[in-house]
Amino acid sequence: MNGHNAIKSEHTALRSTLASSGVSPTREKLILQAIENVNKPGLRLDTSAILPLMKPVTWFPPMWAFACGVVSTGEPILSNWSILLAGIILAGPLMCAMSQTMNDYFDREVDAINEPERPIPSGRISKQASWLITFTLIMTGFIVAWWIHPYVMAIAFFGVLMSHAYSGPPLRAKRNGWFGNLIVGLAYEGVAWLTGSFAITQGVPSSESIALAVIFSLGAHGIMTLNDFKSIVGDNIRKVASIPVQLGERKAAILAAVVMDVAQLCALGILLWKSAYITAGISFILLLFQLPMQNILIRNPKEKAVWYNAFGTLLYVLSMMVCAVGIRP
């Protein structure tokens, strides 16, 4: 079978799979074009597509976690505003954006099915251009991290390695939701939190701060599971073993809710151990508000996963800051 016939056969099989998944003919045509776009040679760079490639909506979690790490130290924020600002920029528009552009490069064939409108599948940015953007973000991030502290640059370098381990070969941890979601949670929440704590004090974070960073990182595994619901069709086709693919939609939603709730209960235990009863009470109320929302999620996970990630997860991240305030010396 020659190359043309092989491609034609692959497209025929893909059309059949997409049709059985309920994909409309219009979107099917868009997907097939996107599959051709992702590996086209040449350097194409539509400047209006650079920001969408970096996914600003994903910057908030590491920026927030960095701020939580800063708050947890009890150090005055106004006198350290320049470090706080530089750290937030490092965590979000640089390192998180870098991880997104790197992920889009390695994930371009899956995105062609799940999100054909993304910059690389749509043809607005070539895979070669996406690497130039990634490299620029890495170098700029290293400069900002070095300015904060040389140790922060070492952490930034570790963050780049984690991003590659998640998205790229040989590990490509995201192909298994158990490991991939864990790496993202640790990078977005734990590493960012501890970097914020260290950047202000330039010393080892407190045991309570380390504990909360780890706890909320593990809880973020549930957030990442919910994020995978939007990619079920493409993940099935490309053999990506996300949690919803492995467990099914309802069980994955239950797991995500349980993981997030257990994390918050553990954090609540630390606040009670510190005798921070007011913040413990606020944290408990935030958890109670999530329970009816989780019930709605579990009843209809495919339709409500995006909704819960927008509203239920907001209460989870608010609890992070409440706990950061509660452990201040």
Domain ranges of the chain: 38-326
Cα atoms in the Cβ-side hemisphere of radius 13 Å centred on 252: 27
pLDDT bucket at 1, cuts 50 / 70 / 90: very low
> Taking the CA atoms of the chain, what radius of gyration do you get in angstroms?
21
Tokens standing for residue 275? 């005798």
pLDDT digits (tens, 9 = 90+) for 205-235: 999 999 999 999 999 999 999 999 988 877 8
Among candidates 222, 213, 183, which has minimal Cα distance to 103?
Answer: 183
Tokens standing for residue 313? 């997860």
CATH number for the domain running over 38-326 = 1.10.600
pLDDT digits (tens, 9 = 90+) for 128-171: 999 999 999 999 999 999 999 999 999 999 999 999 999 999 98
134 near 185, Cβ under 8 Å? no
- The answer to whether residue 49 scores a pLDDT higher than 50 is yes
Between 33 and 296, whose confidence is greater? 296
- The answer to whether residue 236 scores a pLDDT higher than 90 is no
The Cα–Cα gap between 169 and 284 comes to 41
Whether the full predicted model's pTM is greater than 0.85, yes or no, is yes
DSSP at 96 = I
96-128 burial, b for 16+ CB within 10 Å, e for fewer? bbbbbbbbbbbbbbbbbbbbbebbbbbbbbbbe
CB atoms inside a 10 Å sphere around CB 172: 17
> Any residues with CB less than 8 A from the CB of 101 and at least 6 apart, and which?
53, 54, 130, 133, 134, 137
DSSP at 206 = P
